[in-house]
Structure 1
Amino acid sequence: MDKLSVRLQPGVYRGQAEVSLAAQGSGPVTVTLQWFLGETQGAYSVPDGTDTVVVQAGSLASVVQAHTFSRGHGCYGGVRVTTKPAASNGSASTSELLARCQIQEPQEVPR
């Protein structure tokens, strides 16, 4: 397993992780996505679920996985990705501000 990366697109209560991996060799690669919530970016303090996906080794692969975050446990959604066999760079992780916590500016009423 060569390299692993992840990108997270946050929504109001959902996040969608796009995992890219370069899998050498043959046989299956197990991709584990651990979801977290936190009060600050990069704080993976509240576990919020796990998803597992199996892909075939031997090529570049992309995995897209959606997750609905729990309510009331932080404004940052995060995901940590690991593989078995392990990637050369270990794991990949990211966290983003969820839209439910973004402050909306009041809009002027047209006259």
Structure 2
Amino acid sequence: MGRWAHTGPWRRLRGDDIDAVARAMTALEIAPLADRDVDALSGGQRQRALVARALCQEPELLLLDEPTSSMDEHSRGLIATTVTALSGAGVTVVQTTHDAAVITSAERVVRLEDGRVAA
């Protein structure tokens, strides 16, 4: 589904589409889960699959809402590494988080309180 922006829904994937999916799944260590239904994955696996689906779109802007919430340390590290690599490659990444480690590693931070910009 992550390639639908390039192929259109329900169309056959081409070689470059398959490569993009493989890269995203490998980066987030979910390639061994490729044959499983998303509903059969654990919460952390599902979250990584959803991020991988977004990566497959090869976006210029990636919006993430609490992408590492309720994840184990390893999964949080995979997401962080992937986000850092994307940002370094010129992708604009905007994410919401309460995770102090993510906040301190961000290039820019906007802190909200009661729905308003506080800092």
Per the shorter chain, which TM-score range? under 0.3
Q: Which has the higher contact order (CA 8 A, sep 6+)?
A: 1
TM-score (norm 2): 0.22
Q: Which has the larger radius of gyration?
A: 1
Higher relative helix content? 2
**Larger relative strand fraction:** 1
Give the TM-score normalised by structure 1. 0.23
